[in-house]
Amino acid sequence: MKSRSGVSFPFPESGELDRKVLIRLRSDRPSGYASLVAEYPDNVRRWASLRPVGTAVWSASVQTDERVTHRCIVRYMQGITTDHEVVSRGRLYAVRRCADLQGAGEFLVMDVEEIGDAEVLT
């Protein structure tokens, strides 16, 4: 089942989108002489499936210097880039890449890296 986008695993089953996540656009602006202040102008809440990736995926991502620790699947939405972050249950995940699942325009797959505790980092 190879698709145009290269993402070849099946659609999520009923009930697999089992946790609420916040998808937000991060925008950094300069502050003072050498610091940055993060702003989040665009926030969207979605039901998602957020699961750790296997060791083969993780190892391959480390070799390409784009560490991926989890895979997040949501209903399809346009405009998601590596400038976005996913927040779930107090944890922060940076979007490393995303693709339309099977090229069907129904679900979006985001490969994300767990960064840490969202409250401490924001």
Tens digits of residue pLDDT in 47-101: 999 998 876 555 555 545 568 889 999 999 999 999 999 999 999 999 999 999 8
pLDDT tens readout for residues 32-49: 888 888 888 889 999 999
Give the DSSP per-residue string, 31-98. ETTTEEEEEEEEEEEEEEEEEEPPHHHHHHHHHTT----EEEEEE--S---TTEEEEETTEEEEEEEE
Domains within the chain, CATH numbers bracketed: 22-121 (2.40.10.270)
Q: What's the whole-model pTM score?
A: 0.80
> Which pLDDT score is estimated for 1?
40
Tokens standing for residue 64: 């390409």
C-alpha–C-alpha distance, residues 94 and 23, integer Å: 10
d(CA 118, CA 122) in angstroms, rounded, equals 6
How far, CA to CA in Å, does 45 sit from each of 9, 28, 61, 96?
24, 21, 27, 19
Q: Which two tokens stand for residue 75?
A: 């209903």
